[in-house]
Structure 1
Amino acid sequence: MPSVDNVLVKIPVTEKQAAAMMATMPSATFDFAAPVGDTSRLPRTPKLDISRERVSQADVILGNVAPALIEASPRLQWIQLGSAGYEAYLAPGVLAPSTIVTNGTGAYGPAVAEHSFAMLLSLMKRLPAYRDDQRAHAWSDEGMVSTLAGARVLVLGAGDIGLCFARLCTAVGASCVGVRRHLPSMSTPEYEQAFSRVTTMDELVHMLPKADVVACFLPSSAETQGLVADAFLGSMKTGAYLVNAGRGDLIDQDALRRALEDGKLAGAALDVATPEPLPADDPLWDAPNLLITPHVAGFWHLHATLERVVALATENLRRYVRGEQLKNIVRG
């Protein structure tokens, strides 16, 4: 392992967690930019004023420093992201060629899956309409509802989050098919319990017309940007539901609005949009049977997510010191 003199930490930690991090590299200086103390009430890392000079002095960074501040620092050996997303850090000119990148995959499954599951069920049971009725003091019957029992759920992005979502759906009687870019080399008991089948994007055209729910947890890439457009939505089963908690650029939002207005879809639940924040005058806000939350499924809104990210970062520090394979390598 190359010498590590300075570790910049942009993940909130408790005093005990900070001590555990420092114990992995006793000779290094740990620069805790994020709060150290009680983290149980932090829904996300506070905005921090971190200088370029401070970033340039780091041999290792734990957390998501703004990519523009890194400037391909030749000193930076490794960055452990707190997020699952990493695309912005792989853009040209952000990192030196030798810098290792690891991400937070595995920490966000329960939080994002539960949020998405709650949004879907609330639409299926017309809860947003009943909340509107409550505010209007109106005792109204909003009509027929749907169920996940016996439903066919197509999960695009059958990684950690998709697996957690499928487990929730399976628990109430749905049958889930997972879609991945590449089939896993080996199945696991968790996969076999959550998914009746796992396939690739090549079969998407055959799967869409059969699905009662299409739930998307895909990263942003050239292949996924704008994937959910007129043709995709037109291939979906009439009366199906769409969920997206991956990246906003997956969806052509004008096409989605038309599909909701025409009654093609029974409803859609979005935790992400393009752009973010979604402008107040964007017509998407007023689409019928649409539930939007402002990209809050993840971050630290569920405190256990932050605990998992800190544990991952600390374990990877130990591995780095010992020269072992790091967890969640996305470049290096």
Structure 2
Amino acid sequence: MSEHLVTLYHLNDLGADELRRLLPGHPDLRITEIGPDEDPHDHRDALADATIVLAPLEKERRITAELLDGMRRCRLVQSVAVGFDGVDHHAAAEHSIPVANIPGFNTDAVADWTVGALLSLLRRYAAGHAKIESGGWGPEGLRGRDLSALTVGIAGFGSIGRAVARRLDGFGSDVLVHDPVPSEPDRTYVGLDDLAARSDVLTLHMPLNEATRGVVGDALLSRMPRGSYVLNAGRGGVLDEDALVKALDSGQLAGAALDVFAEEPLPADSPLRGRSDVLLTPHTAGVTVEAYHAIRARLVESVDRVLSGEAPRNVVNGVISDGVRPSAGV
């Protein structure tokens, strides 16, 4: 039976024709696209026959435990991102289906966004632009802060957190770190409460799980120095957005920059909208030309590897595979 790739991933130009062009070593590969407006549950037969599935980005189109139960030929569910919210990876593990992600492809992009967004908050670039556009001039209301004078706390010190720290070192900021696994012994590691209490800026790069969901809320924000800043380019659910709005309204926080949100797209009635003290971007911190080329190359490498009978890399759900999926009785 021939190899069959089913893709629920829809972004840029990685459709069936482009995937075939990028995988010339597998001329007999069948590719099925399930469109962005289609429910994967309406395509059970295609998924049941798939040997590789590219997971969707949208949580609403998630590959559920019910679908995974019928995917008896599947040797890999590949997330085309760092995150893997588009698949129930726990259920996949129960069916011995590896789920892999693509880590690190946009590390520099997200780190650049973080420092750029922070500078925008500190120096009030948008307000200055608006002042000129409205016919104004002069520094009134535009007094900023020097990044070199501030202590920046980094919550989550994986590859992106470390890249942010390297950039902040160049600005001369004091950097504090919170992470359960110390990776750079020369850094100052502190608990999360201590991090908040000592940081003029708190930037979040934490994974979302039961331990971190909503962890940055009223209690933690109240520990920060008055007039401080919060940035989130990690996972939306880590930050309690209602608590953030209250902290901004009270003056406890001077500003915030967010690229990720608890609900995406950000609801039209979100109180985060329309504020001069908040910078919002639509989950695009990691979107650059260089990151795009990197993720394409890594995706093709991963798919080619499994189609060639090798075990997948960057498996996130603990399934050890030798590249051959058991028949499970079929």
| C-alpha distance in 2 between matches for 1:145 and 1:262 | 20
| C-alpha distance in 1 between matches for 2:220 and 2:169 | 25
| C-alpha distance in 2 between matches for 1:129 and 1:81 | 39
Aligned to 1:197, which of 181, 187, 192? 187
Alpha-carbon deviation of 1:171?
A: 2.0
Amino acid at match of 1:55: L
Q: Look up the match of 1:134.
A: 132
Does structure 2 retain, via aligned residues, the 8 Å contact 1:67–1:94?
A: no
Aligned to 2:297, which of 301, 311, 318? 311
Amino acid at match of 1:59: T
Q: Look up the match of 1:229.
A: 217
Query: Is 1:62 aligned with 2:54?
Result: yes
Does structure 2 retain, via aligned residues, the 8 Å contact 1:180–1:198?
A: no
The DSSP-based 3-state class of the residue aligned with 1:243 is strand
RMSD of the TM alignment (CA)?
A: 2.9
Alpha-carbon deviation of 1:233?
A: 0.4
Does structure 2 retain, via aligned residues, the 8 Å contact 1:84–1:103?
A: yes
| C-alpha distance in 1 between matches for 2:95 and 2:189 | 34
The DSSP-based 3-state class of the residue aligned with 1:214 is strand
Query: Is 1:79 aligned with 2:77?
Result: yes
| C-alpha distance in 1 between matches for 2:37 and 2:164 | 33
Does structure 2 retain, via aligned residues, the 8 Å contact 1:4–1:59?
A: no
Query: Is 1:259 aligned with 2:247?
Result: yes
What is the TM-score normalised by the length of structure 1?
A: 0.80
Q: Look up the match of 2:326.
A: none
Does structure 2 retain, via aligned residues, the 8 Å contact 1:4–1:60?
A: no
CA 1:150/1:225 → structure 2, altered by over 3 Å: closer, same or farther? Answer: same
| C-alpha distance in 2 between matches for 1:113 and 1:294 | 16
Q: Look up the match of 1:278.
A: 266
Aligned to 2:283, which of 292, 295, 298? 295
CA 1:259/1:98 → structure 2, altered by over 3 Å: closer, same or farther? Answer: same
The DSSP-based 3-state class of the residue aligned with 2:303 is helix
Q: Look up the match of 1:116.
A: 114
Q: 5+ unaligned residues in a row in structure 2: which ranges?
A: 320-330
| C-alpha distance in 2 between matches for 1:302 and 1:237 | 34
Alpha-carbon deviation of 1:90?
A: 2.7
| Range with bigger deviation, 250-259 or 60-69 | 60-69
Alpha-carbon deviation of 1:324?
A: 5.1
| Range with bigger deviation, 238-247 or 56-65 | 56-65
Q: Look up the match of 1:153.
A: 152
Q: Look up the match of 2:323.
A: none
**In percent, how many aligned pairs have the same letter?**
28
Alpha-carbon deviation of 1:294?
A: 2.0
Amino acid at match of 1:257: V
Does structure 1 retain, via aligned residues, the 8 Å contact 2:99–2:315?
A: yes
Q: 5+ unaligned residues in a row in structure 1: which ranges?
A: 35-45
The DSSP-based 3-state class of the residue aligned with 1:327 is coil
Query: Is 1:21 aligned with 2:31?
Result: no
Q: Look up the match of 2:327.
A: none
Q: Look up the match of 1:125.
A: 123
| C-alpha distance in 2 between matches for 1:162 and 1:153 | 11
CA 1:94/1:287 → structure 2, altered by over 3 Å: closer, same or farther? Answer: farther
| C-alpha distance in 2 between matches for 1:237 and 1:226 | 20
Alpha-carbon deviation of 1:318?
A: 4.5
Aligned to 2:200, which of 192, 212, 232? 212
What is the aligned length?
304
Q: Look up the match of 1:328.
A: 314
| C-alpha distance in 2 between matches for 1:120 and 1:79 | 36
CA 1:18/1:183 → structure 2, altered by over 3 Å: closer, same or farther? Answer: farther
Alpha-carbon deviation of 1:330?
A: 0.2
Alpha-carbon deviation of 1:165?
A: 1.9
Q: Look up the match of 2:325.
A: none
CA 1:172/1:5 → structure 2, altered by over 3 Å: closer, same or farther? Answer: same
Alpha-carbon deviation of 1:67?
A: 2.0
Alpha-carbon deviation of 1:91?
A: 5.8
| C-alpha distance in 2 between matches for 1:19 and 1:241 | 46
Does structure 1 retain, via aligned residues, the 8 Å contact 2:56–2:86?
A: no
Alpha-carbon deviation of 1:293?
A: 1.5
What is the TM-score normalised by the length of structure 2?
A: 0.80
